[in-house]
């Protein structure tokens, strides 16, 4: 029962992603064929697993918050009006996350995660509180919020998943990130589309929706960078470069094909880019999971480890922040000054001019982990040798 329920949830996830990629709205009266094609793809074999099993093994069980978000989109994907999750639903998710995650990571004297176990002394009061919020939400008219809490409690009582903790039925990191991005978009998209950008021909609502999709892409790219850093630490640069070439091919030439097929549809372009960013995040997460050594120890958040590396991490973060500010400040200011059409030409030229960084970047990423390892071993002469060789290669290849 638990395996079947989890696979159905991941089937919903994959179905949503595939229908976005297939651009099901363009199929019009043939939309059932798109659903059948997506359903066939999610049961394709991938090594020793089906694709749907691979998704479950990578992400684990989805909470009912994520399931409800996916169902909301999937049921309304054929409608002209875009799907919207209730603000109250997203807000309660964020409140629960603020109460749960920091304290569960050791930032407090009490662990609220333990309340989700039936063996806890205050478990009955916790369930009563969740049920009361659901009843109040239904009475006021917040149906999505009420459905989420009700389904979570019922599923936990029926042991639909392997987990025995109620929190795992209510929340997961994907739902929290989605709620956070949705709320940020809700409060800022119209300001960006109307007050900041200079729009002459495009529809303001379309631009606002595109800004929202870009916000989701930023979140997935940020997660991808974390996974890539871990893969770099295991010196898997060759694999990363090969995957990077494939992803870049889908992201740029593939996007050109989407533009030609969709006749310049802005929404379909950004939807395609969002799917690519999501796929990239999954690929890097799976690779990092495969190369990390297995352990029987329970992994938990360590504040002591965080304190130990905090000075170095903060200095690197500060330097990276300054670098982003210096390199992106011109784009930020010109996005306000120039009309959107002219700003598009500027970003195209700036991207072409910055292509040299894309060529030289992989070399730096290839030698940095080795140099770091040599410094940790106090082997400074060998580190300097590798550094000088890398510098000479960059000068010979890109210098004049």
Q: Decide: 108 and 102 in contact? Cβ < 8 Å.
A: yes
Q: Decide: 51 and 41 in contact? Cβ < 8 Å.
A: yes
The structure tokens listed for 43 are 């049961």
Bridge partners for 45 per DSSP: 50
Q: How many angstroms separate the Cα of 381 from the Cα of each of 9, 23, 281, 375? A: 54, 56, 37, 9
What pLDDT is recorded for position 80? 45
Q: Decide: 183 and 87 in contact? Cβ < 8 Å.
A: yes
Contacts of 250 (CB under 8 A, 6+ apart): 276
What pLDDT is recorded for position 95? 86
Tracing tokens 């890097």 back to the chain, one arrives at 284
Q: Decide: 157 and 170 in contact? Cβ < 8 Å.
A: no
What global pTM score does this model have? Answer: 0.61
Low-confidence ranges of the chain (pLDDT < 50): 80, 83, 400
Strands 49-50 and 45-46: antiparallel
Dihedral sign, Cα of residue 89, residue 175, residue 255, residue 30: negative
Q: Decide: 74 and 12 in contact? Cβ < 8 Å.
A: yes
What pLDDT is recorded for position 239? 84
Q: Decide: 188 and 248 in contact? Cβ < 8 Å.
A: no
114 burial type by CB count under 10 A (0-12 exposed, 13-18 middle, 19+ buried): middle
State the Cα–Cα distance between residues 291 and 224, nearest whole angstrom: 16
The structure tokens listed for 223 are 């997660």
Q: Decide: 19 and 77 in contact? Cβ < 8 Å.
A: yes
Contacts of 197 (CB under 8 A, 6+ apart): 207, 335, 336, 340
Domain ranges of the chain: 1-60, 77-196, 201-291
State the Cα–Cα distance between residues 94 and 183, nearest whole angstrom: 9
Span 69-90, pLDDT tens digits: 888 777 766 554 554 557 778 8
Closest CA to 168 of 155, 177, 183: 155
Closest CA to 206 of 337, 63, 80, 307: 80
DSSP E strands: which ranges in the chain?
45-46, 49-50
């Amino acid at each position: 029962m638990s395996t079947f329920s989890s696979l159905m949830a991941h089937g919903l996830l994959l179905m949503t992603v595939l229908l976005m990629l297939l651009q099901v709205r363009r199929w019009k009266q043939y939309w059932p064929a798109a659903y059948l094609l997506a359903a066939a793809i999610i049961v394709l074999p991938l090594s020793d697993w089906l694709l749907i099993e691979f998704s479950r093994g990578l992400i684990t069980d989805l909470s009912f918050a994520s399931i409800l978000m996916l169902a909301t989109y999937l049921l309304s994907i054929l409608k002209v009006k875009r799907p919207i999750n209730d603000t109250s639903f997203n807000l309660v998710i964020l409140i629960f996350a603020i109460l749960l995650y920091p304290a569960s990571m050791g930032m407090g004297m009490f662990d609220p995660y333990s309340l989700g176990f039936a063996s806890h002394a205050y478990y009955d009061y916790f369930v009563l509180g969740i049920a009361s919020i659901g009843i109040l939400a239904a009475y006021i008219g917040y149906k999505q919020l009420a459905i989420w809490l009700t389904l979570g409690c019922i599923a936990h009582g029926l042991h639909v998943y392997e987990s025995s903790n109620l929190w795992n039925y209510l929340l997961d990191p994907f739902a929290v990130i989605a709620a956070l991005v949705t709320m940020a978009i809700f409060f800022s998209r119209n300001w960006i589309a109307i007050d900041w950008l200079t729009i002459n021909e495009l529809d303001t609502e379309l631009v606002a929706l595109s800004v929202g999709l870009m916000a989701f892409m930023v979140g997935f790219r940020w997660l991808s960078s974390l996974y890539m850093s871990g893969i770099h630490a295991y010196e898997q640069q060759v694999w990363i470069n090969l995957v990077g070439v494939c992803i870049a091919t889908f992201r740029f030439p593939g996007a050109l094909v989407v533009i030609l097929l969709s006749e310049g549809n802005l929404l379909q372009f950004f939807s395609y880019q969002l799917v690519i960013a999501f796929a990239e995040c999954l690929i890097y997460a799976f690779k990092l999971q495969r190369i990390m050594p297995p352990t029987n120890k329970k992994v938990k958040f360590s504040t002591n480890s965080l304190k130990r590396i905090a000075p170095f991490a903060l200095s690197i973060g500060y330097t990276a922040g300054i670098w982003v500010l210096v390199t992106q400040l011109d784009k930020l200011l010109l996005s306000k000054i120039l009309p959107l059409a002219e700003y598009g030409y500027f970003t195209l030229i700036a991207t072409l001019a910055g292509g040299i960084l894309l060529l030289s970047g992989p070399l730096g990423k290839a030698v940095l982990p080795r140099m770091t390892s040599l410094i940790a071993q106090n082997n400074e002469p060998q580190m300097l040798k590798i550094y000088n060789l890398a510098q000479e290669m960059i000068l010979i290849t890109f210098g004049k």
